[in-house]
Amino acid sequence: MNIKSFISVIPHIKENTLVICDIDDTFLRYEKGFRYFYDKVKNKPKIDAIKQTGKMYREYKEKNYPKLTDYSGFMLMMHILKDKGELVFLTARKSDEETDTRKEFSYLGINYDYFKVFYTGDRITKGSFIKKNFKIKGKNVIFIDDYIGNIESVSKIPSIKCFKFI
């Protein structure tokens, strides 16, 4: 299901809910995202384009600040979740980006240490990561991401309700 606000997730929160949320372009975003820079170099061989895009995007992020995609929706979802479950973050970022991630959360006024943050390093699909690292049996699990590839990998786990943040 496509959503534009975390408010759309709230009716699906019940007792014992685990919300697994992506970071980039779901929880926070920059004015210019990864795709903006990729489009500038996409005519190069894919591996070169991705490396160059990553470099340009990192340099851009060093000089710019993120925004929450949906401040009021996120805060309301957190308020509802505090008595019914937990929110964790699952990102394709590499674990060595934790310092930068902490800075982004701090800039946004969000306490990084309040949450568990998991990094796949883009080495494993989010669906496979969840299967290997999360105990979801008996829980109401909600997954929120902006990338269709992640939605597809997680939707193979039938007990998880997936939302595509647009």
Q: What is the pTM of this model?
A: 0.94
Q: What sign has the CA pseudo-torsion 12, 13, 18, 22? A: positive
Find where tokens 């991705």 sit.
Answer: 50
pLDDT in tens, the chain (166 residues): 999 999 999 999 999 999 999 999 999 999 999 889 999 999 999 889 989 998 999 999 999 999 999 999 999 999 999 999 999 999 999 999 999 999 999 999 999 999 999 999 989 999 999 999 999 999 999 999 999 999 999 999 999 999 999 9
Tokens of 143: 């997954």
Q: Which domains does the chain have, with CATH numbers?
A: 2-28+69-165 (3.40.50.1000), 34-63 (no CATH)
What are the start-end ranges of the E strands in 16-137? 17-21, 28-29, 67-68, 85-91, 116-119
3-state secondary structure of 27: coil
